[in-house]
Structure 1
């Protein structure tokens, strides 16, 4: 069974985000072994300098790297990434498992994104949209799309 670790910078705030994530975590249990790692977002001043921002992203990058599963394929969610349909994402995940991949890490950065070195390290840079979403919503969307993709691959009826 595929092991998936969703690595998120930032904590879920409101209960409705946590409830939505819990629902998809429950559904995903039929398709993969899912772990969610929540990392602390670095605090920045109201108007950080480029240096302060870069240093914060590097500290977050180190925390992300410490959570990566050994030998895992890495998917970084970032606005400049590739957009895929749900079917294409399902095919991508299926191809990984057919080729022997059993571990996957999906990364969601904090409000300032991901450090460039984390994006470069990713096997796939994936964009959900050119629009900007709150990171809490991005987590729900990532879990839903993982569920949808794995359900498609299993021949389920969730995707219409």
Structure 2
């Protein structure tokens, strides 16, 4: 599990209070980054399929609405740019039948869950396409701030290494 994925899981679990299941392997070398369940409502459980695509590289930090191509994804020099398109997430992370089949094993069926992409900002075109596809975008920087705010002034000892590190960083500052 990548560090950014662990931070997002910590955010969902400790700040939002959701149940989480990280790193679910699917057939065909696909993987689901995170499933989350919000049981805070007395009437229903809200389900989330969360995928992380965080890059701080200047040219590739923002999620874009540029065209996604399976062929360009195979080319080493174009791979990073392709992974920063919303089309990549739609076609490779949310859409494959292998992913949808695995989601069904956990009670996630078309229409009963929310798709979320965590990224380091996005372009207006990416936001428009996300809205059309009913995908919510979360900015990773906001997640870090919300975790820091939730740790501020608390003396709770977190056994989660990621959250504990952020808590110590906040306390040191």
TM-score in terms of structure 1 length: 0.34
TM-score in terms of structure 2 length: 0.32
**Structure possessing the higher radius of gyration over alpha carbons:** 2
Q: Which has the higher contact order (CA 8 A, sep 6+)?
A: 1
